[in-house]
A = this chain, B = another copy of it.
Amino acid sequence: MKKLSLHDTNEFSEKSFKRFLLHDSAYFRVLNFNIGAGQTFPVHSHPADGQLTIQVISGEGEFLAADDVSMRAVAGDILVSDISEPHGVRGITDMRILVTIAPPF
């Protein structure tokens, strides 16, 4: 049992989004990405079984999917995706997301 805090990783970079690994186990991996206004976590996918959630912690942006699909994404929104489905995130404002991947690949 351990307690983590998103307050410890509230850091952005002008150059690119920031990535923080918060937890990794045989069961799931938890990451915090901080995406600056105008930055994009590009659409990507992995040929692995499993699913992930992308939860918006703060800020505003878009969830991105295949075929240039985008969905408005604000604090409290959660995207559930297969790991093998194309997914990404674009920041409109500075935007923090929490990503949980199960199982890790």
Contacts and interface: CB of A to CB of B under 8 A. Distances in A.
Interface of A: 1-7, 22-23, 25, 27-28, 30, 49-51, 53, 55, 57, 63, 65, 71, 73, 76-82, 85, 87, 98, 100, 102-103
Contacts of A65: 1
B82 A1 contact: yes
A71 B49 CA distance: 35
A53 B22 CA distance: 11
B1 A78 contact: no
B1 A76 contact: no
B76 A23 contact: no
A77 B98 CA distance: 12
12 contacts: A2-B79, A3-B77, A3-B79, A6-B78, A7-B76, A27-B49, A27-B51, A27-B103, A28-B28, A30-B78, A57-B76, A102-B103
